[in-house]
Amino acid sequence: MTWTMWAALIVVVGTVWALIKRYETRLVLLTSGLIMTILSLDPMAAFEQFDKSMTNNSLIIVICSSMGFAATMNLTKCDLHLVSLLTKPLNKLGILLLPCCMIVTGITSLAISSLSGMCAAIGPTIVALMIRAGFRPAMAAATVIASTLPSFWSPGSSHNGFVAKLAEWPVMDFITYTGFRTLLISIVCIVFLTVACFIFGDFKKGGFENEGVHKSNVELPEHPNVLWAFAPLLPVVLLFVIAFWFPNVKMSVATAMLFGFIYTMIVTRSNPTELIKKFFDGMGHGYGSIIGLIIAAGVFAAGLRTCGVIDVFVEYLKNSSEVAKLGAAIGPMALGIMTGSGDAAGFACNEAVTPHAPEFGMTIPDLGYLAIVSATLGRVSSPIAAGVIIIAGIANVSPLEVIKRSLPVNAAVLVFLYFIS
pLDDT tens column, 366-407:
999 998 999 899 888 887 777 887 788 878 888 888 889 999
Residue 206 is predicted with a pLDDT of 63
pTM of the shown model: 0.71
Burial status of residue 215 (CB atoms within 10 A of its CB: 0-12, 13-18, 19 or more): exposed
User: Please, are residues 32 and 11 in contact by the beta-carbon 8 Å criterion?
Assistant: yes
Specify the DSSP class assigned to residue 251.
-
User: Please, are residues 83 and 108 in contact by the beta-carbon 8 Å criterion?
Assistant: yes
Burial 238-276 (b: 16+ CB within 10 A, else e): bbbebbeeeeeeebbbbbbbbbbbebbbebbebeeeebe
Helix axes 97-111, 137-145, angle to 10 degrees: 40
Name which of 260, 259, 241, 258 is nearest 249 in CA terms. 241
| Length of the chain measured in residues | 421
What lies within 8 Å, CB to CB, of 36 at 6+ separation is: 7, 8, 11, 300, 303, 304, 306, 307
User: Phi and psi of 218, rounded to 5°?
Assistant: -90, 115
CA–CA gap between residue 298 and residue 304 (Å, rounded):
10
User: Phi and psi of 275, rounded to 5°?
Assistant: -70, -45
Report the SS3 class of residue 135: strand
Residue 280 is predicted with a pLDDT of 92
Domain positions in the chain are: 58-289+343-420
CA–CA gap between residue 171 and residue 160 (Å, rounded):
7
Report the SS3 class of residue 42: coil
CA–CA gap between residue 174 and residue 52 (Å, rounded):
23
**Residue ranges in the chain whose pLDDT is less than 70:** 1, 56-59, 87, 90-92, 113, 117, 120-121, 206-220, 310, 313-321, 339
Specify the DSSP class assigned to residue 1.
-
42 CB neighbour count, 10 Å cutoff: 16
What lies within 8 Å, CB to CB, of 364 at 6+ separation is: 163, 166, 167, 354, 355, 357, 358
186-239 residue pLDDT tens: 999 999 999 999 998 888 876 665 555 544 455 667 788 889 988 888 887 887
Residue 92 is predicted with a pLDDT of 64
CA–CA gap between residue 163 and residue 240 (Å, rounded):
19
Residue 67 is predicted with a pLDDT of 80
Name which of 120, 90, 62, 47 is nearest 393 in CA terms. 120
Which region holds residue 168: left if phi is over 0, alpha if psi is between -120 and 50, else beta? Answer: left
Report the SS3 class of residue 203: strand
Residue 71 is predicted with a pLDDT of 86
Q: In which element (H, E) is residue 18 found?
A: helix 3-20
Report the SS3 class of residue 219: coil
Name which of 292, 302, 388, 305 is nearest 339 in CA terms. 388
User: Please, are residues 351 and 303 in contact by the beta-carbon 8 Å criterion?
Assistant: no
Name which of 412, 348, 25 is nearest 185 in CA terms. 412
User: Please, are residues 19 and 28 in contact by the beta-carbon 8 Å criterion?
Assistant: yes
398, amino acid identity: S
User: Please, are residues 127 and 83 in contact by the beta-carbon 8 Å criterion?
Assistant: no
Residue 214 is predicted with a pLDDT of 47
Residue 171 is predicted with a pLDDT of 86
Specify the DSSP class assigned to residue 288.
I
Burial status of residue 172 (CB atoms within 10 A of its CB: 0-12, 13-18, 19 or more): buried
Residue 208 is predicted with a pLDDT of 62
